[in-house]
Amino acid sequence: MGNRPSYPGTPRWVKVSGIIVIVLVVLVVIMLLSGHGPGRHTSSAGDAGSQVVLSGVTDEHSLAEVRRG
């Protein structure tokens, strides 16, 4: 009872999960560096985080929709 058993080590499921996470992180980093990341959802109107350039003046149909609503 006096001797403490040695630590059995990290479980296999933790190691496998860790490898999967590392692979996913590397893939995401590659995607971001190649310009295919999720930040692109704002990139059509400029860089991520920038203000959208409005063209409401030229879109009379949409304005009419809003007024009608």
d(CA 48, CA 40): 7
CA distances from 30 to 9, 33, 58, 65 (A): 32, 5, 39, 42
Smallest separation, CB 33 to another protein (Å) = 16
Smallest separation, CB 29 to another protein (Å) = 15
Smallest separation, CB 69 to another protein (Å) = 6
Q: Which residues bind another protein (CB under 8 A)?
A: 1, 4-5, 7-8, 10-11, 13-14, 17, 38, 40-42, 44-45, 49, 52-59, 61-63, 65-67, 69
| Rg for the chain, CA atoms, rounded | 26
